[in-house]
Amino acid sequence: MTFYFVCIFALDDNHTSLRMSLTIENILFIGSLLLFISIIAGKTSYRFGVPTLILFLLIGMLAGSDGLANIHFDDPKLAQFIGIVSLNFILFSGGLDTSWPAVKPVLWKGLTLSTVGVLLTAVSLGTFVWWITDFTIYESMLLGSIVSSTDAAAVFSILRSKSLALKVNLRPTLELESGSNDPMAYVLTIGFLAVVVNQELSVLSIIPLFLQQMILGGLFGFAFGKLSKYVNNKINLDFEGLYPVLIIALMFITFSATEFVGGNGFLAIYICAVYLGNQDLIHKKTILKMFDGLAWLMQIVLFLTLGLLVFPSEILPVMGIGLLISVFLIVIARPLSVFISLLPFKMKLRRRFYISWVGLRGAVPIVFATYPLLADIDKADMIFNIVFFIAITSVLIQGTTLSLVAKWLHVAIPEKVKPMAPTEVFLSELPKTTMQEVTIQKDWWAVDKKIVELAFPSTAIIAMIKRGQSYITPNGSTVIEANDELIILSNSKLAIEQIYGVLENE
């Protein structure tokens, strides 16, 4: 679709008005200006605890048709496309940052919350909407499905800004739930939308769709994760900067291939990213840094786009019903789904309450709300406006109080006793680090192998390689040669012993 960003001055008898539409000549200027304003606003918001999500949305709304800039944007199809692309980057980046050792102990809790919890939220909220509105039962369930997933980006941006650490396994549980619950909400949204459009379909038709999406999504995600690792480590690219580009290509191939066969692309890319994030990859640091920056960019672009898409004047008539639904979601539907989902697990009551409170609705429900718009069902506009209002109130009410509630429930770790990250622990022990020089023998297994293929212990690094009279600063793609002298740093003698086993034997 062609965009036109042009300022048109219209003069009539009573007043002069300024109208702004999109033209190719100044799209870069307007777009970069909105991006710059969003970044500055986001930095300022950390001081006051205002979630960046709200600011990005507000900036988009101010620039939109009912705002000061008067940019007319009313294209749900384009907004949905931008949303899907952005969610690819956001979910993939979140998966790369997910530590499997941290997630493994809470795997079943997180998966239960992201499946059973989402289903219970959708059903309970849908029933409430059906009771208080003139929506049909399927339209009500569609609305409940759209807002049934939580927003990881909003949650953890607030936790980071407040330097808030959580006790036991709360953070990994919330990370896993937030990263993996979008596929379930997507399946429910598509399923109930199909039932609304085609009244002859049974609600039971969602079950095979759910199984197909989840099973194929999981299988393709893991398969493409292994394939992506192999391609990344075996291909020899001349420039380090091309490796993140390669991973981006593999990410979109994973999503589109999974969607093509009827699987859930969002689940596939998340599983693929979790697998890659816990493997040894060539230029892994570069890849992680690139995706972190791209995830922030996509987050801003997504929120600005959704802000432009909404018409504030259309939200005002649904504020009353929207507030009622939002309060029910926060106070009843979310806690009910969390408590029922976690019944099989041992967990203190206050931790269950906190998980219930960390149920922010953000960009994902708004993106899902564009599906009814494109399907052109009767109440599509009303559903979109209600969902948008729910997202704003959820972030404002819950997002601004995450730190306060964590301290009130005694699930926050005080600043002075917060655990250090593994990297900080390792660096803090550098004065006592064990250094070992290892000369590679000709018959060792490590000869002609890349460092990334050696499966080194996580507590050890190859700091330097002496090859003849020259010294090499290694990276994952560096190939070990016979007679190389490796200067290895580790925080334990046991790790040094393990290293010899890695270098000598396959």
Can you give the residue ranges of every domain in the chain? 35-417, 422-504
Residue 363, classed as helix, strand or coil, is: helix
Q: What confidence score (pLDDT) does residue 152 get?
A: 65
Question: Under a CB-based contact definition with an 8 Å cutoff, are residues 26 and 5 in contact?
Answer: yes
Q: What confidence score (pLDDT) does residue 139 get?
A: 93
Same fold, 35-417 and 422-504: no
Question: Cα–Cα distance between 48 and 42 in angstroms, integer?
Answer: 10
The tokens for 181 are 């619950």
Q: What are phi and psi of 490, to 5 degrees?
A: -150, 160
DSSP secondary-structure letter at 418? Answer: P
Q: What are phi and psi of 57, to 5 degrees?
A: -65, -45
Question: Under a CB-based contact definition with an 8 Å cutoff, are residues 166 and 406 in contact?
Answer: yes
Average pLDDT over residues 416-445: 59
Question: Under a CB-based contact definition with an 8 Å cutoff, are residues 114 and 315 in contact?
Answer: no
35-417 — its CATH code? 1.20.1530.20
Distances (CA, A) of 335 to 151, 239, 243, 387, 449: 16, 50, 43, 19, 52
Q: What confidence score (pLDDT) does residue 63 get?
A: 77
Residue 93, classed as helix, strand or coil, is: helix
Whole-model pTM: value is 0.77
Full strand arrangement of the beta sheet holding 485-490: 434-439, 485-490, 460-467, 470-472
Q: How does pLDDT run across 205-258, given as a tens digit for each residue?
A: 788 888 899 999 999 999 999 999 999 988 888 888 899 999 999 999 999 999
Q: Is the pLDDT reported for residue 54 higher than 80?
A: no
Contacts of range 42-51, beta carbons closer than 8 Å, 24 or more positions apart: 42/300, 45/161, 46/161, 49/158, 49/161, 49/162, 49/400, 49/403, 50/400, 51/154, 51/157, 51/158, 51/395, 51/396, 51/399, 51/400
Average pLDDT over residues 180-202: 87
Q: For 337, how many CA atoms within 13 A lie in the half-sphere containing its CB?
A: 32
Q: What confidence score (pLDDT) does residue 4 get?
A: 37
Q: What are phi and psi of 265, to 5 degrees?
A: -65, -35
Q: Which residue has the higher pLDDT, 379 or 13?
A: 379
The chain-wide mean pLDDT, for the chain, equals 81
> What is the architecture of the domain spanning 422-504?
2-Layer Sandwich (3.30)
